[in-house]
Amino acid sequence: MDPGARGIGLGRKLVEAALEYCRESGFTSVYLETTVGLPESMALYRKLGFENEAEETVELWDGMGSIITMRLDMHRIKEGRTKCALPEPPR
């Protein structure tokens, strides 16, 4: 993403729209891949409920690095919500 467009919520809106499509389409899980070199993206994915599934060292555009596979269980997302709000944890 262009550095000037960072921090205004575009990435979150894009991911939420994709997740809403997945929810409406009946997907039970969503997977994505990211790298340790994208901490802001990883933080967003975690806020949306993604959890690390696997990590593998591979050759990236700037040398060897880690590819992290993250997974979201779609059942954790509240029904009928456009935004991907997670249910409150039990107390």
Q: What is the pLDDT of residues 2-55, one digit of tens each?
A: 677 777 788 899 999 999 999 999 999 999 999 888 888 899 999 999 999 999
pTM summary value: 0.74
What pLDDT is recorded for position 1? Answer: 62
Please say whether the beta carbons of 70 and 32 come within 8 A: yes
Query: Could you tell me if 52 and 63 are in contact, meaning their C-beta atoms sit under 8 angstroms apart?
Result: no
> In DSSP terms, which residues pair with 80 in a beta bridge?
none
| Fold category of 28-79 in CATH | Alpha-Beta Plaits (3.30.70)
Q: Closest Cα partner for 82 from 30, 15, 29, 37?
A: 15
Show me where the domains of the chain are located: 28-79
**Close Cβ partners of 85 (under 8 Å, ≥ 6 residues apart):** 77, 78
Per-residue confidence (pLDDT) for residue 72, from 0 to 100: 96
Q: Which residues pair with 60 in a beta bridge?
A: 63
